[in-house]
Amino acid sequence: MKIAILGGGSWGTAIAVLLSKKAYNVFVWDRNVTVLEEMKYKRQNPRYLPGVAVPENVNIGFSLEETIKNSDVIVIAVPSHAVRDLCLKIKDFVSENHIFVSLTKGIEDKTFKRMSEIIEEFFPNNKIAVLSGPSHAEEVSRDIPTAIVSASKDEDIALKVQDIFMTPNFRVYTNTDIIGVEIGGAVKNIIALAAGISDGLGFGDNTKAALMTRGIAEIARLGTALGANPMTFAGLSGIGDLIVTCTSMHSRNRRAGILIGKGKKVEEALSEIKMVVEGVNTTKSTYELSRKIGIEMPITEKLYNILFNGKDAKEAVTELMQRDKKDEIQYSAYFVR
């Protein structure tokens, strides 16, 4: 089997390393030629995944067309804002036999589409799956035990992708609730930013636990309103991904939040992280989507105002704590209110 990985960032590189150990014919393409040259000639990706060797059997594709044409599976591993442009670039090279696997987590600005929906817009006759769950590239590339979810509307494709990616240290479950899996993977980055801000402000474990718990309630309210199975948010792509992203220093979103909480402007924080912080754009698109469909997401709303309207973070926390009294279960993850 030939697998094309489009995107040579940390996650794309980690998956290339993972799949290379299964004797697949793996090709990696990235728009940054320097990244490709370092992977080809130095067998490293120091910009995105330092300290991890890129095996010799990971092929480097300098031609996007040739990389696509020589593949059976196309793995999308670019930032969410680049998915539409990438689909446009490859549309003339893709056959209906190609299987798409999206590793990208986000909600598109203005259209509010999930990543699989963007891919489906360009390739309506192709099979599409997504991989999501608590999985830092830094750990997956080093064979640290990890569990993740393969989701597709087509159960056979979810199972096929499960077989392709599963290894002794990379356990893959299946789920046909692609809506819930993608919403969980995207929106948890918002809560991770908020958790980082909490850390930066000097708050404690109680605060973070509250943010994470009420955060999963927001995620599930949005997801169920969009047609997801609420139980998905109790799984790896919901609570699982939320835990790892809110608590780990591997998380760009948490690290960016810490810097903002310590007083840095958003632009300064993003510049210091030096890689895409998906939660920033996702906060904007999710906030606008929640208003459009009438879903209450108070943490998302406060974070939106911090990021885009210059709201003081401590003031936002005070406002969250002093909201009108609520019943926990009435506003739980399993009800749309």
Q: Are residues 290 and 197 in the same domain?
A: yes
Mean pLDDT in residue range 217-243: 96
CATH of residue 127? 3.40.50.720
pLDDT for 332? 55
333 within domain boundaries: no
93 within domain boundaries: yes
The CA R_g of the chain, rounded to the nearest whole Å, is: 19
The secondary structure of residue 108, as a DSSP letter, is: -
Q: Are residues 187 and 270 in the same domain?
A: yes
**By residue range, what is the domain housing residue 39?**
2-176
pLDDT tens per residue across span 144-153: 999 999 999 9
Query: Is the per-residue pLDDT at 328 higher than 90?
Result: no
Query: Which secondary-structure segment (H or E) carries 211?
Result: helix 205-225
Mean pLDDT in residue range 29-51: 96
pLDDT tens per residue across span 127-168: 999 999 999 999 999 999 999 999 999 999 999 999 999 999
pLDDT tens per residue across span 291-312: 999 999 999 999 999 999 999 9
Asked about 188 being catalytic, the answer comes back as yes
Q: Are residues 16 and 165 in the same domain?
A: yes
332 within domain boundaries: no
Provide the 10 A C-beta neighbour count for residue 82: 17
CA distance 197 to 306: 10
Query: Is the per-residue pLDDT at 336 higher than 50?
Result: no
Q: Are residues 293 and 218 in the same domain?
A: yes
CATH of residue 222? 1.10.1040.10
Mean pLDDT in residue range 70-89: 97
Q: Are residues 25 and 167 in the same domain?
A: yes
Banded pLDDT at 326 (limits 50, 70, 90): confident
Catalytic-role residue among 127, 160, 188, 208: 188
CA distance 266 to 306: 9
pLDDT for 335? 44
What distances in angstroms separate CA 217 from CA 178, 223, 239, 242, one per listed residue?
18, 10, 10, 11
Mean pLDDT in residue range 87-113: 97
Q: Are residues 165 and 264 in the same domain?
A: no
Q: Are residues 116 and 210 in the same domain?
A: no
Average pLDDT for the chain: 95
Query: 68 and 86 in contact (C-beta within 8 Å)?
Result: no
pTM of the predicted model as reported, rounded to 2 decimal places = 0.95
335 within domain boundaries: no
Provide the 10 A C-beta neighbour count for residue 145: 10
39 within domain boundaries: yes
Domain closes at, from 176, 204, 232:
176
Provide the 10 A C-beta neighbour count for residue 232: 26
Banded pLDDT at 331 (limits 50, 70, 90): low
DSSP string, 163-178: HHH-BTTEEEEEES-H
Query: Is the per-residue pLDDT at 334 higher than 60?
Result: no
Q: Are residues 157 and 249 in the same domain?
A: no
pLDDT for 330? 65
Query: Is the per-residue pLDDT at 192 higher than 50?
Result: yes
Q: Are residues 105 and 48 in the same domain?
A: yes
Query: Is the per-residue pLDDT at 229 higher than 60?
Result: yes
The number of folded domains in the chain is: 2
pLDDT for 329? 75
Q: Are residues 273 and 239 in the same domain?
A: yes
CA 274 to chain centroid, in Å, comes to 17
CA distance 196 to 194: 5
Mean pLDDT in residue range 247-251: 94
Q: Are residues 187 and 274 in the same domain?
A: yes
Q: Are residues 198 and 313 in the same domain?
A: yes
What whole-number percentage of the chain has pLDDT above 90? Answer: 94
